[in-house]
Amino acid sequence: MNSSRKNPRIVVAGLGNELLQDDGAGVHASRMLAAAPLPGATVVEVGTAVWDLVELLDGVDALIAIDAVQAGRAPGSVMLLQGEDAHTALCGSGTHGIGLMEMLSLSGSSPATVVVVGIEPEDICYGIRLSETVTQALPRVVEAVRLTVAAWQARPDTSRTMNFLNIEQYRQETQWGYQT
């Protein structure tokens, strides 16, 4: 993030395909966040239209992508991913047609900081309803986004932000427990 800026510009993007049950978890989470405004961040419902995000990222310091992430964990597990883990989670076309990281690379619009708040899906089959497990985990996803934005607002310098997003330190400093 741009440490010279007092209030970093943050975009929170809800990704996923609502027609594939739990793959739409990021979209549902972004709606929950939009219903209760998130100070200091712009929340957008992207779905599978990742190219629509390009113009919103101009001048943005940080991007939080909310998405279903198949990581082999228990369904409903909430993950905070950064660096190579975030890159891996957002690469490949999956259900979005093109991966977010490929889009960022091709467009040249990549923010300095990209973090994924991921949720392990239970069902990715045709259907418009989230599984009960993922539905029950959505408040934890929303809280993870809120805490991350608050942390960036409090500490906009890049090195401190990335250190703060170390999951163990995150747990200790926020008193918030995530399944890992």
Residue 178 in domain: no
Residue 180, pLDDT above cutoff 50: no
Mean pLDDT for the stretch of residues 1-5 = 43
pLDDT at 95: 52
Q: Which CATH number goes with the domain that contains 20?
A: 3.40.50.1450
Whose structure tokens read 């943050």? 10
Structural contact between residues 70 and 21, judged by C-beta atoms closer than 8 angstroms: no
In this structure, the strands spanning 10-15 and 62-68 are: parallel
Mean pLDDT for the stretch of residues 62-86 = 87
Residue 57 in domain: yes
How far apart are the C-alpha atoms of 168 and 6, rounded to whole Å?
26
Read off the pLDDT of residues 125-155 as tens digits, 9 standing for 90 and up: 999 999 999 999 999 999 999 988 988 887 7
Residue 177 in domain: no
The average confidence (pLDDT) of the chain is 78
Residue 70 in domain: yes
User: What are the two backbone dihedrals, phi and then psi, of residue 46, each rounded to the nearest 5 degrees?
Assistant: -95, -40
In this structure, the strands spanning 78-81 and 113-119 are: antiparallel
How far apart are the C-alpha atoms of 135 and 166, rounded to whole Å?
26
Residue 176, pLDDT above cutoff 70: no
Residue 174 in domain: no
How far apart are the C-alpha atoms of 18 and 48, rounded to whole Å?
9
Residue 173 in domain: no
pLDDT at 22: 96
How far apart are the C-alpha atoms of 160 and 129, rounded to whole Å?
39
> What is this structure's pTM?
0.79
Identify which has the larger pLDDT, 56 or 142.
142
Mean pLDDT for the stretch of residues 19-41 = 92
Residue 2 in domain: no
Domain that holds residue 38: 10-168
Residue 133 in domain: yes
How many domains does the chain contain in total? 1
Report the percent of the chain where pLDDT is more than 90: 39
